[in-house]
């Protein structure tokens, strides 16, 4: 019944007038290029065809198998356009795909980085981004048979990965804030910047529970604990989904790969999977109402996650009542055949993924063709395909794309990457900073007249931004050195000292010279996830470790066998410590690195993780006491690789021959410029809610200045049918308490355990309740629940 757009519009007008008596003005008929009018009329016609069918079912019934399969394809889009000065045009590849099997979505059209070969100059700025996506939408609406708008999916783990957007701290830094309201605000800004430029899906947050620091993607996660990750993830999702669809990454158990190798199998049983590695996703689905989920590359018990029907249908859809869209990770469906060898060819791999519950194959334009072939071979049914297409169309309706798929290009230019958004990025950086040691050298006083800033990460903007970051205008980024210079409180000298990895790039003597002449040294060391244009990449976008020696020691694909500082950094810090000058050591890092030397010899020790665009401003405020740090570790800092995995909730063990089994710095740990005292712990069973109890505690600021305290509640089940953890985080609040004042903090707790036989359930018995400033420092009380 449908023809070319103009004819289609004319026939819709005629059909509506004959069926429903609608009178459509001639002027409105002529304006068939108006997406809003066109979509309204199309839906009106479809709804008029049957009182029993909703618009989605009506549209689905009109689609050919090619159009259905196209809706399930999401190819890489950063080569779908050309740019020359002020001119933009659609690439022939994109137009050809839309002619052959019209796409349902595109991924990373706006992405800029070395893998995409897009720079600040050749990539798209916000107004250009909005213009391009409007052009692509217009082509989809006006030049395909049904005019179904496109979904545009963009990477958004710590800001939209595009030129000119706001760069926040990476996930591990976000988690160090322990501040869900701040992260909700951050999520809202990230989602709004994505939507203003014309995209509607933001990939993030990353809810993988990270318990192996060798793994290259720890920086993207919210740490080692399911409760912390779940609460923070829920609020990031709520913020993002004020404007876009958030995509939870990566289902499931991706953060515990064997050997620390990215995408390696996860060695975990069903009880621990449900208790440790799925609750964060469950919370983001049930309470954050996440609209999409992405599968992970790994296998669990030999089953690829993208072909795991129990996980994607039994747990995600049936148990959690998830109604949204399931994406595979990039080329993960092909991996079922190519690397995991569970399928004999790409067609069987596509069939396995679809039947397991994957809706859209990220990066796979051929997915649609493989599904069509699978249908012809009897590997899938059209009902299987319809189920997935229905999920995609429902999301598009929910996002308002059939109402208006276009955006205001001027608004994108005015409201993306604003100074207000940068100040929010600074606040996240401030709250994410974790003070690990302080021998009263911080904050700097008036006696500090000359500061030596030393180290490979002191003045390298990309090293502080993390993976999944677009090329940047240097004027928008504040490095550690620049932040200290802009503070203007002391004379500043600078020496790089050495590179992160390259041992031939070093001048340690120069660094020692300026250190000896200073009142205090700020030494900025660590790692980097900065990709460059000489780095090689896998088909799925992960960086390849090869002979090219950049600063990059972290980021997707850069797994480690040790956690040592690389290059000549160890020599640098030893030489600087040997000067006898007070030293503040600052780690810029994407994973917990070896801090043993700094923990002993440094006068103060901070980790800022990857603090984002305002990292230097945040550091300077902390050094001079304009901000009192209160970040807490979301992941344990090991003493050595031999301890891995080491995380706070492990059952107690004995020490090693060579060293303690305890981490160097435990989960939840962090210092402040003030001190807090805990008292008056009270635990009461709630009789009206069996198996539930309330906890109250008084926290007093007994130190010299105002500050934030992260009050943490842990529970230990003394006896359980499944071997219990040593303690589990069950509540936390970041509260501001003025000097000399007290606050009462309260929590409500429902202790549950999971078993395959009973699912989540309460088991009566004795529980130890612990409240304090970390996982190892607390006051406690025991309660018996019957």
Please name the residues in contact with 730: beta carbons below 8 A apart, sequence gap of 6 or more.
227, 713, 714, 715, 747, 749, 751
| C-beta of residue 569 within 8 angstroms of C-beta of residue 587 | no
Q: In what order do the strands lie in the sheet with 245-251?
A: 105-107, 151-155, 201-206, 245-251, 292-295, 325-327
Contact 122, 174 (CB under 8 A): no
**List 113, 212, 276, 329, catalytic entry:** 329
Contact (Cβ atoms closer than 8 angstroms) between residue 277 and residue 226: yes
Buried b (16+ CB within 10 A) or exposed e, 97-111: bbeebbbbbbbbbbb
- String of b and e for 205-217 (b: at least 16 CB within 10 Å)? bbbbbbbbbbbbb
Q: What are the phi and psi torsion angles at 85 (to 5°)?
A: 55, -120
Is 329 an annotated catalytic residue? yes
461 in Cβ contact with 479 (< 8 Å): yes
Beta bridge partners of 498: 506
Spatial separation of the C-alpha atoms in residues 311 and 294, rounded to whole Å: 12
Cα 287 to Cα 320: distance, rounded to the nearest angstrom: 10
| Cβ atoms within 10 Å of 624's Cβ, excluding its own | 18
Q: Coil, strand or helix: which one is 753?
A: strand
- Label the pairing between strands 693-701 and 583-588: unpaired
Long-range contacts of 595-599 (CB under 8 A, 24+ apart): 595/436, 595/637, 595/664, 595/665, 596/639, 596/640, 596/664, 597/570, 597/573, 598/437, 598/573, 599/436, 599/437, 599/664, 599/665
HEC sequence for 413-469: HHHCCCHHHHHHHHHHHHHHCEEEEECCCCCCCCCCCEEEEECCCCCCCHHHCCCCC
Please say whether the beta carbons of 372 and 350 come within 8 A.
no
Q: Considering only CA atoms, which of 630, 783, 620 is closest in space to residue 710? A: 630
CB under 8 Å to 519, separation ≥6 — which residues?
Answer: 447, 448, 449, 450, 451, 490, 581, 582
The CA distance from 103 to 396, in Å, is: 13
- Residue 386 near residue 352 (C-beta atoms within 8 A): no
Cα distances (angstroms) measured from residue 511 to each of 67, 233, 492: 63, 42, 13
Provide CB contacts within 8 A for 611, sequence distance 6+.
Answer: 169, 173, 429, 432, 433, 464, 588, 618, 619
d(Cα 562, Cα 107) in Å, to the nearest integer?
34
Beta bridge partners of 493: 452
Q: How far is CA 122 from the centre of its chain?
A: 26
Cβ contacts of 688 within 8 Å, gap of 6 or more: none
Give which of 376, 601, 636, 590 is closest to 463, Cα–Cα: 590
Q: Alpha-carbon distance 541 to 114, whole Å? A: 10
* Strand 361-362 to 73-74 pairing: parallel
- DSSP notation for 647-668: -TTSPP-PPPSSS-SS-SB-TT
Length of the chain: 786
Give the separation between CA 609 and CA 436, rounded to whole angstroms: 13
Question: How many helices (H) and strands (E) would you count in the chain?
Answer: 24, 29
Give phi and psi for 554, each to the nearest 5.
-150, 175
Residues with a catalytic annotation lie at 329
């Amino acid at each position: 019944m449908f023809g070319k757009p103009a004819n289609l519009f004319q026939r819709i007008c005629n059909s509506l007038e004959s069926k429903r008596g609608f009178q459509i003005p001639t002027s409105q008929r002529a304006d068939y290029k108006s997406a809003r009018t066109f979509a309204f009329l199309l839906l009106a016609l479809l709804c008029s065809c049957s009182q029993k069918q909703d618009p989605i079912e009506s549209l689905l019934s009109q689609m050919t198998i090619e159009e259905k399969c196209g809706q399930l394809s999401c190819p890489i889009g950063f080569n779908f356009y050309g740019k020359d000065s002020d001119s933009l045009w659609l690439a022939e590849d994109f137009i050809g795909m839309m002619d052959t099997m019209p796409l349902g979505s595109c991924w990373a059209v706006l992405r800029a980085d070395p893998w995409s070969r897009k720079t600040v100059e050749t990539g798209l700025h916000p107004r250009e981004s909005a213009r391009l996506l409007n052009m692509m939408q217009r082509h989809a609406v006006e030049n395909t048979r049904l005019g179904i708008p496109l979904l545009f999916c963009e990477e958004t783990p710590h800001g939209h990965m595009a030129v000119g957007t706001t760069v926040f701290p990476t996930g591990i830094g976000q988690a160090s804030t322990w501040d869900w309201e701040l992260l909700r605000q951050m999520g809202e800004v990230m989602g709004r910047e994505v939507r203003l430029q014309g995209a509607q899906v933001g990939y993030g947050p990353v809810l993988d529970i990270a318990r192996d620091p060798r793994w290259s993607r720890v920086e993207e996660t919210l740490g080692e604990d399911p409760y912390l990750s779940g609460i923070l993830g829920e609020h990031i999702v709520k913020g993002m989904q004020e404007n876009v669809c958030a995509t939870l990454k990566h289902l499931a158990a991706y953060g515990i790969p064997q050997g620390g190798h990215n995408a390696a199998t996860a060695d975990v049983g069903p009880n621990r999977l449900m208790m440790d590695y799925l609750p964060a996703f469950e919370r983001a689905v049930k309470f954050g109402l996440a609209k999409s989920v992405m599968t992970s590359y790994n296998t669990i018990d030999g089953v690829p996650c993208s072909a795991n029907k129990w996980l994607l249908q039994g747990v995600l859809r049936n148990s959690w009542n998830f109604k949204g869209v399931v994406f595979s990770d990039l080329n993960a469906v092909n991996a079922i055949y190519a690397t995991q060898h569970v399928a004999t060819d790409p067609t069987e791999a596509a069939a396995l993924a679809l039947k397991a519950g994957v809706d859209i194959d990220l990066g796979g334009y051929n997915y649609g063709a493989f599904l069509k072939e699978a249908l012809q071979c009897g590997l899938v049914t059209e009902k299987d395909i319809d189920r997935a297409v229905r999920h995609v169309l429902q999301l598009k309706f929910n996002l308002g794309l059939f109402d208006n798929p276009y955006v205001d290009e001027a608004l994108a230019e005015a409201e993306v990457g604003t100074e207000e958004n940068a100040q929010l990025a600074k606040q996240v950086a401030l709250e994410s900073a974790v003070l690990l040691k302080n021998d009263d050298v911080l904050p700097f006083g008036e006696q500090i007249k000359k500061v030596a800033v030393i180290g490979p990460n002191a003045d390298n903007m990309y090293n502080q931004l993390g993976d999944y970051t677009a090329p940047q205008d240097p004027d928008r980024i504040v490095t550690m050195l620049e932040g200290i210079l802009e503070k203007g409180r002391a004379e500043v000298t600078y020496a790089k000292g050495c590179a992160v990895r390259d041992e031939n790039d070093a001048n340690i003597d120069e660094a020692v010279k300026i250190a000896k002449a200073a009142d205090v040294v700020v030494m900025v060391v660590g790692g980097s996830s900065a990709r460059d244009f000489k780095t090689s990449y896998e088909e799925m976008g992960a960086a390849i470790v090869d002979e090219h020696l950049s600063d990059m020691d972290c980021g997707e694909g850069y797994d480690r066998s040790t956690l040592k500082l690389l290059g000549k950094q160890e020599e640098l810090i030893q030489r600087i410590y040997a000067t006898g000058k007070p030293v503040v050591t600052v780690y810029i890092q994407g994973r917990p690195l070896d801090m043993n030397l700094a923990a002993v010899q440094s006068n103060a020790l901070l980790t800022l993780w990857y603090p984002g665009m305002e990292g230097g401003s945040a550091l300077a405020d902390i050094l001079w006491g304009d901000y009192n740090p209160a970040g807490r570790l979301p992941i344990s800092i090991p003493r050595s690789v031999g301890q891995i995995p080491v995380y706070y909730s492990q059952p107690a063990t004995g020490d090693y021959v060579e060293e303690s089994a305890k981490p160097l710095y435990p989960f939840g740990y962090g210092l402040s410029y003030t001190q807090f005292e805990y008292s008056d712990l009270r635990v009461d069973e709630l009789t009206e809610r069996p198996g539930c109890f309330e906890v109250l505690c008084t926290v007093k600021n007994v130190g010299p200045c105002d500050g934030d305290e992260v009050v943490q509640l842990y529970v230990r089940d003394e006896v359980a049918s499944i071997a219990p953890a040593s303690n589990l985080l069950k509540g936390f609040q970041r509260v501001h308490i003025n000097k000399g004042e007290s606050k009462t903090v309260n929590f409500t707790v429902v202790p549950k355990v999971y078993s395959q036989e009973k699912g989540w359930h309460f088991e009566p018995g004795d529980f130890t309740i612990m409240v304090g400033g970390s996982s190892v420092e607390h006051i406690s009380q025991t309660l018996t629940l019957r």
